[in-house]
Amino acid sequence: MNICKDRAFEVLTRLSVPRIAGTPGELAAAELLKAECDKIGVPAVIEAFEIDMPEVFEAKLTVTKPEVCEINCIGIGRSGNTPDEGICGPLLYVEDGMEANLLDAEGKILLLSGMAKPEVLERMRKSGALGYIACHGSLYDPEEMIPEIRTRNERRKPGEEDINFPGVVIHITDASKLLRMGVEEICIVEKQDGNKKGTSHNVVATIEGTEKPDEIIAFSAHYDSVIYGTGAWDNGTGSITIMEIMHHFAKNPPKRTVKFVWCGSEEIGICGAKAYCKDHKDELDKHRFNINVDMTGVLLGYEKAVCTCDERVAKHIDFMGCVEGFPIVTEIDTYPSDSTAFAEAGVPAMTFARLNPRGGAEIHSRRDMMEVLDPTAFIKTVEFMVKFSEQVVNAKVFPVPRELPKEINEKLEKFRKMEGMKKEEEKKEDKKEEKPAETKAETK
């Protein structure tokens, strides 16, 4: 195998800097990945795509009764704007936002235990509440991490009108303080441009197949990170994993075409993978399988493969794990990463990951750092993935059925409904883009 843990971790060290979606840091990371592909002799292209980048100008949370004090907060993008004087009302703790929690929500500002899922947000809006407060972090975060609240944006369905329902995020320790204080009234001030757009980037490299070039296997990993962290584990490790797989296939030409896709803006809604599937829709029927990698190399952890495809893939991985002495847990399910975007587009997909035990390494915070990683654990995962990938890429008869199982399609449909990505809407958009046959002939 043409893989090397020292080479991989040298690239990872340079990649492990903030690379937040749509920022210069993300673009610099894309250019770094492209340069590494060029070194290998596999030229890469950087593909730009538009993302939502709402800008919050002001967010303020003030307790007004029984005593006045300010609570550190950040605004939730696309949630809305308040009048200059803000919105004020009694505070109501609604836990997870179930219907029974919202019986007395009208005219109040609601406090959640965590973040608002789309269905919870819809219920809160309909309850007559004025606005809401979401929570972030751990009760056991050190003092210096309490101000480090991760930015959040509401997801808007295509064509959905803006519904002004202002929301802010506070640290969970402050949420606990609010409840213990017996707050009677609280005020939110929020000002933002919820329609602002930005640009993110995918990096795409291709090695042409020697025997079946029209059959494509896409390897993917997101390379963006979140605010405050370096994203070494999530997902610098996935990015260097597929880079090492590229090294292998560059030296061992594959029978089928292999594409390597480093996806931007995964952390704000798997946007890069969705953009790739949209921009490459003319060749998507040639994509036979997607192998995604989202976090590897953590020292204390365990291996997992989540297969959004035919169950025979998971069974084969189980079998391989026994043969190779590589312990790995397999599931037939969707995974909250780029593989789901491929599956939504009709491409069988899966994700490899090395996950943490309870109390182990953390993601989405400053604790995601190189120190929790181990090159030996990393290379074991890569070696197993190379063996699996060679079997898939070089199979005499392609072993992964194009059709997705019924239970997977049902789960994907829930994702589509949650994000407003109904098939009927997609078909309408496709028809708008298509020109009549006569027009195509005329343009030629």
pLDDT tens-digit map of 307-354? 999 999 999 999 999 999 999 999 999 999 999 999 999 999 999 999
C-alpha distances in angstroms, 387 versus 259, 380, 395?
Answer: 17, 11, 12
Average pLDDT, integer, range 355-366:
92
- pLDDT (0 to 100) of residue 150: 87
Output the CA torsion sign for 399, 403, 407, 409.
positive
What's the burial of 46, exposed, middle or buried (CB within 10 Å: 0-12/13-18/19+)? middle
Domain spanning 5-53+198-417, CATH class = alpha beta
Residue 83 per-residue DSSP state? -
Check pLDDT > 70 for residue 184: yes
Tell me how long the chain is: 444
pLDDT tens-digit map of 425-444? 444 444 444 443 333 333 32
Reported as a pLDDT band with limits 50, 70 and 90, residue 155 is confident
Report domain extents, the chain.
5-53+198-417, 55-193
Token pair recorded at residue 416:
């589509």
Query: CA-CA distance, 242 to 235, in Å (whole number)?
Result: 11
Reduced to 3 states (helix: H, G, I; strand: E, B; else coil), residue 212 is strand
- pLDDT (0 to 100) of residue 419: 63
Fold designation for 55-193: Glucose Oxidase; domain 1 (3.50.30)
Q: What pTM does this model have?
A: 0.91
Query: CA-CA distance, 118 to 437, in Å (whole number)?
Result: 41
Reported as a pLDDT band with limits 50, 70 and 90, residue 424 is very low
